[in-house]
Amino acid sequence: MPLRLRPDAAVNVPGTKFINTAPQSAVVAAPSATPERIEHAYKVVAEATKAASSNFYYAFITLPTDKRNSVYAGYSFCRLADDIVDDGEYGDDAGEELDSLRIKLADAYDGRAEGDMWIALGDTLHRYPIDRQHLLDVVDGCRMDLDGATYDTFDDLVKYCKLVASATGLALIEVFGYEDDRAVEFATDLGIALQLINILRDITEDLEIGRVYLPAREMAEYSVSVDDLRNKRATSEFKRFMKFQVGRARNYLASGVRLFPLLDGQSRSCPETMTSVYETLLGQIEKNDYDVLNNRVGLSKFQKLRLLAIIWLRRRGFRFL
């Protein structure tokens, strides 16, 4: 059952969905840190998010301060889980480090967080009704990468996408605020879309660390081999394969954007900005004739800020861009 805030905590979070169905044992304990310590912790996760130069940072800055701080905390948690797997610093101990996240997450829910990121996350969990399982799913998804990512079918890949991406989105919408339960379905699809686009963008980089996220059966159907990927052979078969993958990602995006009108008005620009960035990446892939093996796609800081400005103007009634 999803964790829910107790009523007196929910009052201070305007626009956030609240259903008081959780048992008393599921209520998130108030953090033990002082307000000053919590404020400092939020500054730390904000700086860390900015330093990461993530596409998401430019979306997060559209949020009101309280929501933005909480999203920084949630992002920092997900980033930590991802870094444990990707950085290689922990080697054979990466699995144990992921296990430690589960313990520290339990402490954060119990109001016993230690360390800046955990203190900020603990305060966020006290403010918003974020289901613990969503954050645990992120950890489980990262754990799948430890075994070297290979997926036989697209359904197998979707299971991974739901863990590492959709679960993050389901946590975020509790911060954004929503009133319609369809938001859960659309947030799930949006998460799948964004992760699929990441996979299409990063084929070469992922291969270098032993991961091939592209469904093996679909590669075989299009006569695309891992050797083609490794040697950056953008054959006609590969380009047809990529065209199919891009089309499917667009379909998931089309479903995911139905989330936006269901969100609290103050929060909509955030996922709109994320989606605009990823739509632009798909457009770049198409412009490069689907050759992502030899043409890295991405947005400059200026391009991201331009997208942000366009969305800001459109939200205020300007339609000339």
Sign of CA dihedral 268, 269, 274, 279: positive
132-146, pLDDT tens digit by residue? 999 999 999 999 998
Distance, C-alpha 301 to centroid of its chain: 20
Separation between Cα atoms, residue 118 and residue 276, nearest integer Å: 30
CA-based nearest residue to 121, from 19, 12, 84, 132: 132
The predicted pLDDT at position 302 comes to 55
pLDDT band at residue 320 using 50, 70 and 90 as cut-offs: very low
Listed residue (120, 128, 141, 30) closest to 75, CA to CA: 120
Lowest mean pLDDT among 76-90, 125-139, 277-291: 76-90
Query: For residue 301, what pLDDT is reported?
Result: 62
Task: Convert the pLDDT of each residue in 50-69 to its tens digit.
Answer: 888 666 888 898 899 999 99
Please state whether 111 falls in left (phi above 0), alpha (psi between -120 and 50) or beta: left
Residue 280 has pLDDT above 60, yes or no: yes
pLDDT at site 17:
40
Give me 194's structure tokens: 């964004």
pLDDT score for 195: 97
How many degrees, rounded to 5, is the angle at CA 254 between CA 251 and CA 256?
Answer: 110
The mean pLDDT value of the chain amounts to 86
What domains can be seen in the chain, in order of their start residue?
A: 34-133 (no CATH), 148-304 (1.10.600.10)
Q: What is the pLDDT of residue 86?
A: 86
| pLDDT band at 312; cut points 50, 70, 90 | low
Q: Does the structure show a pLDDT above 50 at 203?
A: yes
Question: Tens digits of per-residue pLDDT, 37-52?
Answer: 999 999 999 999 988 8
> Which uninterrupted H or E stretch holds 109?
helix 94-109
Q: Which two tokens stand for residue 104?
A: 């520290």
Which range, of 6-15, 252-261, 278-287, averages the lowest pLDDT?
A: 6-15
With pLDDT > 90 as the criterion, what percentage of the chain qualifies? 70
Helix axis angle for 167-176 and 182-201, nearest 10°, is: 130
How does DSSP assign 74-90, residue by residue?
A: HHHHHHHHHHHHHS-SS
